[in-house]
Amino acid sequence: MKTEELTIQGMTCGHCVMHVRKALSKLQGLKVENVEVGKALVEFDETVMTREQIAGALENAGYKLAP
C-alpha cells in the first residue's frame, strides 16, 4: 500500500471537499484518509490502482490532479 498526498486543482469550498471525497471513495483499491480544499491524503494498492485512474475519477468530477 502506498500513501500519497494528492494536490487537486479546482477545489474552492467545503462542497468541493465532499464532491472529491465521494468521487475517490468510489474507486476500488483506494482508501481516502483525508480531504481538504486543494488536497487529499489517500492510501492505495499500486497493483490495483494507478495515478491515471485517480486522475480520471477526479476529472470526471470536475477537478484536476496536479502533477
Neighbours of 52 (CB within 10 A): 9
pTM of the model: 0.90
Per-residue DSSP letter, 51: H
Q: Kindly list the structural domains of the chain, giving each domain's residue range(s) and its CATH number in brackets, ordered by start.
A: 2-65 (3.30.70.100)
User: What was the pLDDT predicted at 23?
Assistant: 96
> Cβ(43)–Cβ(54) under 8 Å?
no
pLDDT mean for each 10 residues of the chain (67 residues): 96 96 94 97 93 96 95
User: What was the pLDDT predicted at 67?
Assistant: 87
